[in-house]
Amino acid sequence: MLENIKEFASEFFVTGDPLIYGADVSIVLATLGIVFVLTYFKKWGWLWRNWITTVDHKKIGIMYILAAIVMLFRGGVDAVMMRTQLAFPDLNFLEPEHYNQIFTTHGVVMIFFMAMPLMFGLFNIVVPLQIGARDVAFPYLNSLSFWLFFAGAMLFNLSFVIGGSPDAGWLAYPPLSGSQFNPGVGQNFYIWGIQISGIGSLASGINFIVTILKMRAPGMTMMKMPMFTWSVFAASTTIIFAFPILTITLLLLFMDRFFGAHFFTLDGGGNPMMYINLIWMWGHPEVYIVVLPAFGVFSETVATFARKRLFGYASMVFAMVIISIISFFTWAHHFFTMGSGANVNAFFAVTTMIIAIPTGVKIFNWLFTMYKGRITFPTPMMWTIAFIPAFVVGGMTGVMLSVAPADFQFHNSYFLIAHFHQVLIGGVVFGYFAGLYYWWPKMFGFKLNEYLGKWAFWLWNIGFYVCFMPQYLVGLDGMTRRISVFSDPNWVGLNVVSTIGAYIMGLAFLFQVAQIGYSIFRHEKDTTGDIWDARTLEWSMPSPAPEYNFAVIPQVHGRDEWWEEKERRRRGEKPWQLGPIEPIHMPKNSAIPAIMAICWFVLGFGLVFHWLWMAIPGLIGVFICLYARSFSAHKAEYYIPVEEIERTEATLRGGAV
Amino acid sequence: MAQSPAHGSDHHDHHAAGHHDPQDIKLLGFWIFLVTDVILFSTLFATFIVLRNNTNGFEGGADLFNMTGVIAETFLLLTSSFTSGLAVLAMHQNKVKPMIIWLVITGLLGAGFLALELTEFVELVHEGATLQTSAFWSAFFTLVGTHGVHVTIGIGWMISIIIQIVRRGLNADTKGKVTVFSLYWHFLDAVWIFLLSIVYLMEVM
Ligand code: HEM
Ligand SMILES: [Cu+2]
């Protein structure tokens, strides 16, 4: 008996690596620490009422962002470990197997569990406030999306200590990811971690489309929407078309692994290239899903800090719509080397190059917005400025890669790695940082410390170029991606430099953590609700916004309505005519989303280990939750009475409404 | 896309934009969900089409499909779509009882469809065609099975709606549920037409 348990445990838990034992210990300690703090300060009820069961988009947004920062840390540790291994030739810091796992989890964590939640966090915090709405269209579904993301992320990260991590790359190409070459449970964690959180992303896409189409304040036509909201609309539309493809692709891979089906196997008539087509039909749109909202952020910050209205509004909208459409027609540029023939490659090379045009249009629009503006440079604007050269270089190397014959040389070399990090860090991460710094006062009512923020900014930027510029060169020189050791003496210098850059970025991240920690205790308060003297509706209300957002929904007349309103007031004209306060209809908190996410987790975990006794109850739990919601949804609403709103507004605004 | 469909600026009186019609919002949300489901099935169809000739030396659909059963399934599902339409008609006339009866008939027809489909699957397995046999059969079972799972979920969903109507009667909320459900059911019907033509008919022709 004891023997059996021992044997089970040695397979169930990942053993044998000191790094992992270290992680085990720190996970247990961190968990105990959290439990202790919550119990000692009697915070369990607070956690449950204010966060776990909340359906308030602002709080859900904060939870997304918090989770994303933690995941940025995990993905960052992976990155630094990889760069350490590759700093010098023939190092033995990571075993090859371990290296494979780390580059896989690094990619997955960064895209699915860092970029996506950071993006949804910004969507949640900003969109309803920007369009003059009280919440998203489906607040309950919104909470469910978050908890599904969370359950998926937990499941995926668990593979680190239980069962073993996936190791077939961030897109898990078969046949390597099939059961023939990958019989362990790692790939199952990959499938279910992503599948569960992907369902949440799909639901969020639907939610934000409906929110934007149906919940805008009166007078705000589509062409009067703030540009960030437009970018959310474009990204969400791309999500609803792209994510179902991912759902099916993962389902089919699961069928292969679990039931022995033959979609992507080498025998039985399967076709692995089908997987690679499908995953990129989702994957290329995905990179634009994450970058479009970053473009949206820049459009807001540029206008605010140049104190001018955004140049070329209509062309911005047009460019975004075009990008989201064309992004569905470029996928094959990820495998020009597959051998589809010259005509197919030519088609995809051209569509890929075409995407650079609307992107260029946007860059010029931002530059023209800044032209002759009275620009100030607080941290959100610094990130915006830094984005432009980074993305121009990233885009240009992208166009180089899109030249199909040349790509036979660049493909899967460090040149490619440098390209996509340049666009993903320089575009997406810089963009979300800009957004985070910009809207932080709106979320929490105070500004982040600028001094530490500038340190973080410069370290990030220097580290970024020091890390990735050498990779272009070493890639051109023939160093391929996904190797765990190299021996060529000519590559040593460039690799050392690159590793130094990675460490500088790690240091920059620590500065950001310090910045947040410091600012919680000593900060400049946002007393006006409009700390940047900005232009759009979210700045017309106190920071942080009350739970119902707008006591009275404003009537919108033009773009940049809040700026126009301030101008009107400066000219001494009559301010906004807001109607009387009326009782506000609000959704009640609900425990079902978190419980349903736990059921999904149980289902996923059971399927990972082929334990039907666990998976089936999980599935039943999911359906019970669906039923419970269906029967109780009509009771899940209440009204905030007028007196309470008046009281809240009076305290928040010091009397003046 | 250039104008606001939700509310023009002339609506000064109903400034409280908190009063968007919740049924309207749910209906739009459901339409968009259906779009995602269309993509879901399209991906499966595409996979089936790519893999349809990969029979791995085993018999394909033309040899093993039992078309009488498939025609009967089609008949049941199409009829159920019609009866779900009748349920919605009855609902619009506020006739609760006929509406529930039509819904129950819809559910029974759906269950009949499922029973036939399962029989078909069992027969195929007896002939040796399983998920593991070849890429063709993997794609077949996954595509047709996904549709079957949708039908099953639809029936469970409908039962919950009937119970709620019996308890709470017809109101804006329960009416909205019936409307959305019938949309879903018609959608499954449309998917079946594609299944019938692309999977079954094209295979046996
Ligand atoms: C002007 C715009 C862009 C062009 C022309 C472009 C072109 C390309 C091409 C041709 C490849 C494939 C190269 C190969 O595998 O050999 C590629 C890879 C990649 N690109 Fe881009 N790209 C552009 C923008 C972006 C953006 C905005 C992102 C993300 C935000 C991005 C993320 C990626 C990623 C993640 C990969 C590689 C994934 C992998 O193989 O694992 N790209 N790009
Ligand atoms: Cu691409």
Cβ contact A457:A386 at 8 Å: yes
Instruction: Check pLDDT > 70 for residue A365.
Output: yes
Instruction: Check pLDDT > 60 for residue B8.
Output: no
> How far lies A432's CA from each of A222, A291, A426, A439, B175, in Å?
24, 9, 10, 10, 42
- Relative to the alpha carbon of A289, which ligand is closest? 1
Confidence of residue B4 (pLDDT cuts 50, 70, 90): very low
Which pLDDT does position B203 carry in this prediction?
87
Contact B4 A216 (CB under 8 A): yes
What is the crossing angle of helices A592-608 and A186-214, to 10°? Answer: 150
Contact A247 B40 (CB under 8 A): yes
What percent of chain A shows pLDDT beyond 90? Answer: 84
Neighbours of ion ligand 2 (CB under 5 A): A 284
**Where do runs of H (alpha helix) occur along A430-574?**
430-444, 450-476, 492-521, 561-570
Confidence of residue B204 (pLDDT cuts 50, 70, 90): confident
Question: What mean pLDDT do residues B179-205 have?
Answer: 95
Confidence of residue A23 (pLDDT cuts 50, 70, 90): confident
Q: Using a CB–CB cutoff of 8 Å, tell me whether B22 touches chain A.
A: no
| Closest chain B residue to A629, measured at CA | B160
Give me the residue from A217, A241, A260 closest to B17, CB to CB. A217
Residue A497: inside a domain, yes or no? yes
CATH of domain B21-46+75-204: 1.20.120.80
Residues 441-500 of A with CB under 8 A from B: none
What percent of chain A shows pLDDT beyond 70? Answer: 99
Instruction: Check pLDDT > 90 for residue A34.
Output: no
Q: Which atom of ligand 1 is nearest to the CA of A337?
A: 16
Contacts of B32 in chain A (CB under 8 A): 206, 209-210, 240
Instruction: Check pLDDT > 90 for residue A328.
Output: yes
Contacts of A278 in chain B (CB under 8 A): 43, 47
- Name B140's Cβ contacts closer than 8 Å, sequence gap at least 6: B48, B61, B129, B199
Instruction: Check pLDDT > 80 for residue A15.
Output: no
Confidence of residue B146 (pLDDT cuts 50, 70, 90): very high
CB atoms under 10 Å from CB of B163, counted, come to 13
**What secondary structure letter does DSSP report for A543?**
S
Instruction: Check pLDDT > 90 for residue A57.
Output: yes
| Distance between first and last Cα of chain B | 44
**What DSSP string describes A224-245?**
GS-HHHHHHHHHHHHHHHHHHH
Q: Using a CB–CB cutoff of 8 Å, tell me whether A270 touches chain B.
A: yes
Contacts of A269 in chain B (CB under 8 A): 51, 54-56, 134-136
CB atoms under 10 Å from CB of A654, counted, come to 9
Ligand 1 midpoint to CA A557 (Å): 40
Contacts of B131 in chain A (CB under 8 A): 255, 259-261
Q: Which atom of ligand 1 is nearest to the CA of A399?
A: 5
Residue A578: inside a domain, yes or no? yes
Q: Using a CB–CB cutoff of 8 Å, tell me whether A634 touches chain B.
A: yes
Instruction: Check pLDDT > 70 for residue A657.
Output: no
Residue A1: inside a domain, yes or no? no
Ligand 1 midpoint to CA A427 (Å): 12
CA B31, CA B186: separation in Å to the nearest integer?
Answer: 12
- Relative to the alpha carbon of A420, which ligand is closest? 1
Residue A302: give the domain boundaries.
43-653
Cβ contact A539:A203 at 8 Å: no
Which pLDDT does position B19 carry in this prediction?
60
Question: What mean pLDDT do residues B120-144 have?
Answer: 96
- In the numeric block, the tokens 């997304």 are attached to A64
Cβ contact A333:A379 at 8 Å: no
Question: What mean pLDDT do residues A380-408 have?
Answer: 95
Q: How far is A224 from chain B (nearest CA, A)?
A: 9
Tell me the per-residue pLDDT of B26-35, one tens digit each, with 9 for 90 and over: 999 999 999 9
Q: Using a CB–CB cutoff of 8 Å, tell me whether B39 touches chain A.
A: yes
Range with the lowest mean pLDDT among A394-398, A420-424, A630-634, B51-55?
A630-634
> How far lies A142's CA from each of A78, A105, A146, A207, A590, in Å?
30, 26, 6, 7, 11
Contact B16 A552 (CB under 8 A): yes
Contacts of A627 in chain B (CB under 8 A): 160
A200-232 CB burial, b ≥16 within 10 A, e <16: bbbbbbbbbbbbbbbbbbbbbbbebbbbbbbbb
Residues 64-103 of B with CB under 8 A from A: none
Contact A207 B51 (CB under 8 A): no
Cβ contact A305:A370 at 8 Å: no
Contact B138 A241 (CB under 8 A): no
Q: Using a CB–CB cutoff of 8 Å, tell me whether A306 touches chain B.
A: no
Q: Where does ligand 1 bind, in terms of residues with CB under 6 Å?
A: A 287, 290-291, 333-334, 352, 355-356, 359, 395, 398-399, 401-402, 407, 410-411, 416, 419-420, 423-424, 427-428
Give me the residue from B47, B142, B157 closest to A274, CB to CB. B47
CA A466, CA A488: separation in Å to the nearest integer?
Answer: 21
Tell me the per-residue pLDDT of A167-204, one tens digit each, with 9 for 90 and over: 999 999 999 999 999 999 999 999 999 999 999 999 99
A137-150 CB burial, b ≥16 within 10 A, e <16: bbbbbbbbbbbbbb
Instruction: Check pLDDT > 60 for residue B6.
Output: no
Torsion angle of alpha carbons B6, A132, A448, A424, nearest 10°? 10
Residues 133-192 of A with CB under 8 A from B: 133-134, 137-138
A280-316 CB burial, b ≥16 within 10 A, e <16: bbbbbbbbbbbbbbbbbbbbbbbbbbbebebbbbeeb
- Name A462's Cβ contacts closer than 8 Å, sequence gap at least 6: A501, A504
What percent of chain B shows pLDDT beyond 90? Answer: 83
Cis peptide before A489 (omega within 30 of 0): no
Q: Output A340 or B194, whichever has higher pLDDT.
A: B194
Q: Output A210 or A15, whichever has higher pLDDT.
A: A210
Q: How far is A325 from chain B (nearest CA, A)?
A: 15
Q: How far is B124 from chain A (nearest CA, A)?
A: 15
Give me the residue from A259, A262, A631 closest to B164, CB to CB. A631
Q: Which atom of ligand 1 is nearest to the CA of A169?
A: 41
Give me the residue from B14, B50, B134 closest to A274, CB to CB. B50
CA B168, CA A383: separation in Å to the nearest integer?
Answer: 55
Question: What mean pLDDT do residues A138-148 have?
Answer: 97
Contacts of A324 in chain B (CB under 8 A): none
Give me the residue from B28, B139, B161 closest to A214, CB to CB. B28
Instruction: Check pLDDT > 80 for residue A138.
Output: yes
A85-94, A206-215, A564-573: range with highest mean pLDDT: A206-215
Which pLDDT does position A335 carry in this prediction?
94
Pocket test for ligand 1, best of A119, A331, A335, A416 (most atoms within 8 A of CB): A416
Average per-residue pLDDT for chain A: 94
Instruction: Check pLDDT > 80 for residue A77.
Output: yes
Which amino acid would we find at residue A513?
V
CA A135, CA A124: separation in Å to the nearest integer?
Answer: 9
Question: What mean pLDDT do residues A232-251 have?
Answer: 98
Tell me the per-residue pLDDT of A553-607, one tens digit each, with 9 for 90 and over: 999 999 999 999 999 999 988 888 778 899 999 999 999 999 999 999 999 999 9
Which pLDDT does position B15 carry in this prediction?
39
Confidence of residue A11 (pLDDT cuts 50, 70, 90): confident
CA A13, CA A248: separation in Å to the nearest integer?
Answer: 30
Contact B18 A585 (CB under 8 A): yes
Question: Vertex A642, ends A640 and A645: CA angle to 5°?
Answer: 70
Domain containing residue A350: CATH number:
1.20.210.10
Q: Does residue B44 sit in helix, strand or coil?
A: helix
**What secondary structure letter does DSSP report for A312?**
T
Which pLDDT does position B10 carry in this prediction?
37
Question: What mean pLDDT do residues A131-153 have?
Answer: 96
- Report the Cα A581 to chain-centroid distance in Å: 37
Residue A28: inside a domain, yes or no? no
- Report the Cα B145 to chain-centroid distance in Å: 12
Atom 32 of ligand 1, nearest CA residue = A420
Backbone angles phi, psi at A226, to 5 degrees: -60, 150
Q: Using a CB–CB cutoff of 8 Å, tell me whether A630 touches chain B.
A: yes
Confidence of residue A654 (pLDDT cuts 50, 70, 90): low
Q: Which of A55, A222, A212 shows the shortest CA–CA distance to A128? A: A212
Element (H, E) at A45: helix A44-47
Q: Using a CB–CB cutoff of 8 Å, tell me whether A241 touches chain B.
A: yes
The total number of structural domains in chain A stands at 1
Give me the residue from B16, B32, B37 closest to A210, CB to CB. B32
Confidence of residue A496 (pLDDT cuts 50, 70, 90): very high
Q: Using a CB–CB cutoff of 8 Å, tell me whether B160 touches chain A.
A: yes
Give me the residue from B37, B44, B51 closest to A269, CB to CB. B51
Q: How far is B8 from chain A (nearest CA, A)?
A: 6
Tell me the per-residue pLDDT of A277-290, one tens digit each, with 9 for 90 and over: 999 999 999 999 99
Which pLDDT does position A24 carry in this prediction?
81
Q: How far is B13 from chain A (nearest CA, A)?
A: 9
CA A117, CA A120: separation in Å to the nearest integer?
Answer: 5
Q: Using a CB–CB cutoff of 8 Å, tell me whether B44 touches chain A.
A: yes
How many beta-carbon contacts under 8 Å exist across A and B?
Answer: 165
